[in-house]
Amino acid sequence: MSVEEGPQAERDAILAALKPVVDGLVATFGPMCEVVLHDYRRPEESVVALAGSVTGRAVGGAMSEIGMRMVARGDEAADELNYRTRTRGGQIVKSSTMVLRDSTGAVFGAVCVNLDVSAVTEAHSLLGALAGTGREPAELPVTTFGNDIDSVVDVILDAHQLHQNRPWAALDRAERLELFRGLDDRGVFAVRRAVEQVAARLGISRASAYSYLSQARAATDATPDSHGGHA
């Protein structure tokens, strides 16, 4: 067995052991629950097991923006528990993402639990209004869930361009580097062909996109924070 085969076999065994747990959790919590088992070694088709149907994904589907963010953090990724988002269809989802590590501590996947709490949230708002204590609910971030990784990348890119509020041609060098740094921080470039997809959307050559990505990463590595400096 090669040096690489050992960790890979261990990771495969962990995923195989967790597959029955996915079905068991949904059987316990009911139809408003979805549990997804992700293998981060394959971002484009990271879903290796799934039970329930909250986000509309299927086995073989892509990770979401949340998973891409975890991949970008690498072994520094940590569990994210009890966060709420809104799907593009309007459902309010309470989720927890728990990273999977092998015996060396390397992050290679995650178990995600998603609960559709739309009805509970509406009931809470109604009861609050009747009691005279209701408050406007906080605006929740919209998360894209889909089986196609390209659509997830497109949504992240759209959000960044909307934040910039200007076309690529109007951005100066610092703003262009910031755009690539932001996309990299969210795990976009962990996806195969993502550089080509971003280049096409921005109307630049693939070589230019790779150059901006390289410069953005070099600038990040040169900052004090990237070497353990103060936050």
pLDDT in tens, the chain (231 residues): 555 678 899 999 999 999 999 999 999 998 889 999 999 998 889 999 999 988 888 999 988 888 888 998 999 999 999 988 887 777 888 999 999 999 999 999 999 999 998 866 555 555 555 566 555 555 655 566 666 777 778 877 777 665 667 778 888 888 889 889 988 888 888 888 889 988 988 889 999 999 999 999 888 776 655 444 433
Dihedral of CA atoms 49, 53, 55, 58 in degrees, nearest 10, equals: 40
Which neighbouring-strand residues pair with 37?
49, 111
Integer Cα distance of 133 and 145 in angstroms: 34
Q: How many CB atoms lie within 10 A of CB 30?
A: 9
